[in-house]
Amino acid sequence: MLVACGDGDSALPDNATDAHAADEPAVFAAVLAQEYGASFYVINDQTMACSPDAPSSPTTSRT
Amino acid sequence: MLAGCPQLTNDLAYVKTQIPELAVETVTSFSVQSATSRALSADMDLGAPYLLMSSQEMNAIFSPSQDGWQLFYERYPDAPGIMVFSRVGFNSTGNQALVSWRFQWEGLGGDGGFIVLAKVAGAWQVAHKVVTVVS
């Protein structure tokens, strides 16, 4: 499958990009614990998709 | 370049300049995954209790006729705000991950950007954070 939002250079087969998808919750858990440390979370039930209108005002911090 | 996502393309280019060790394949995987939205599962193990909130519930809470954040914190007093995640991009060996997030809290407060994680001894650790949205 090629991705509608990307060009040909960035497209990968599903089986390549989904190979580690089972690790997604562990990644989310690490971000929540290490960046926010709350006892309860409310999370949007849909993941973000790329948006041409998303705002951006870059500042950087490194951990 | 992501032809349909100029802002994401710009943000990822910026992130790559900030994190030289971010692998091209991780960025490519992230770009592919980020093309579409996906419903999260309610049975994920996130290390803490969580509630998945639909856009319908958000619209009901944050309707113009009421103080949405007051209502939100009345309903969910232990929640610091509302988190939104992207899909996660991984490198081929599965030891580097890239995820985008947006976190909104009371009033106009919020932040977001990109986080690179490394898998060390079987556990994901935040390695770098690049903030691209601050309000």
Is B2's pLDDT higher than 80? no
CB burial of residue B10 (10 Å; 0-12, 13-18, 19+) = middle
- One-letter amino acid identity for A46? Q
pLDDT band at B108 (very low <50, low <70, confident <90, very high): confident
pLDDT in tens, B7-61: 888 899 999 999 999 999 999 999 999 888 999 999 999 999 999 999 999 999 9
**Per-domain boundaries in chain B:** 6-36+81-134
d(CA A32, CA A51): 23
ipTM surpassing 0.90: yes
Give A-chain residues touching B15 at CB under 8 angstroms.
none
Angle at A27 between CA B68 and CA B97, to 5 degrees: 120
Give A-chain residues touching B90 at CB under 8 angstroms.
17, 19-20, 23
d(CA B16, CA B37): 23
Chain center to CA of A13: 18
pLDDT at B104: 94
CA nearest B112: which of B100, B126, B102, B99? B102
Three-class SS of chain B:
CCCCCHHHHHHHHHHHHHCCCCCHHHHHHHHHHCCCCCECCCCCCCCCCEEEECHHHHHHHCCCCCCHHHHHHHHCCCCCCEEEEEEEEECCCCCEEEEEEEEECCCCCEEEEEEEEEEECCEEEEEEEEEEEEC
pLDDT at A51: 53
pLDDT in tens, A43-62: 999 999 875 444 333 333 34
Three-class SS of A16-37:
HHCCCHHHHHHHHHHHHHHHHC
d(CA B4, CA A2): 13
pLDDT at B116: 98
pLDDT in tens, B76-94: 999 999 999 999 999 999 9
Q: Note whether B128 contacts A: Cβ–Cβ < 8 A.
A: yes
pLDDT in tens, A4-48: 333 333 344 444 456 788 999 999 999 999 999 999 999 999 999
- One-letter amino acid identity for B51? L
Which residue from A minimizes the CA distance to B93? Answer: A20
Give B-chain residues touching A22 at CB under 8 angstroms.
none
Q: Note whether B95 contacts A: Cβ–Cβ < 8 A.
A: no
pLDDT at A7: 36
Is there a contact between B129 and A62 (Cβ–Cβ < 8 Å)?
yes
